[in-house]
Amino acid sequence: MANMMKMMKQAQAMQAKMQKLQDELAEREVDFTAGGGMVSAVATCDGSVKKVTIDPKVVDPDDVEMLEDLVLAAVQGAINKGKDTMAEEMGAITKGMNIPGLM
């Protein structure tokens, strides 16, 4: 019984750590650029896009599709980078633990 209580306390402590980390990562910003830095996007690690910056040199009214592609690539890259950061840091907390349904 004492072993079960110890495991429950460890699980609660890990859950609290994970919640704190999730809260911190929801605020942490990552960035990603596309087109050799012509378009950049900033997102939080929870997937919220915060900012998109476009170099005026890439704005060509005759090639809007290219600009759309660069914006999409920068935004998706920032979101993916944030998700990867979240998974990596959350994985560090759960490393070595095999708890079904966790992550």
> CATH number of the domain at 30-95, please?
3.30.1310.10
Q: Which two tokens stand for residue 11?
A: 């699980």
Q: Residue 54, Cα to own-chain centre: how many angstroms?
A: 21
Identify the pLDDT of residue 98.
55
Sign of torsion over alpha carbons 85, 89, 92, 93: negative
Residue 97, pLDDT score: 61
Query: Does residue 91 contact residue 23 with C-beta atoms inside 8 Å?
Result: no
pLDDT number for residue 103: 46
Report how far residue 42's alpha carbon sits from residue 28's, in angstroms, rounded to the nearest whole number.
10
Report domain extents, the chain.
30-95
Q: How far apart are CA 11 and CA 26, in angstroms?
A: 22
More confident of the two residues 32 and 1 = 32
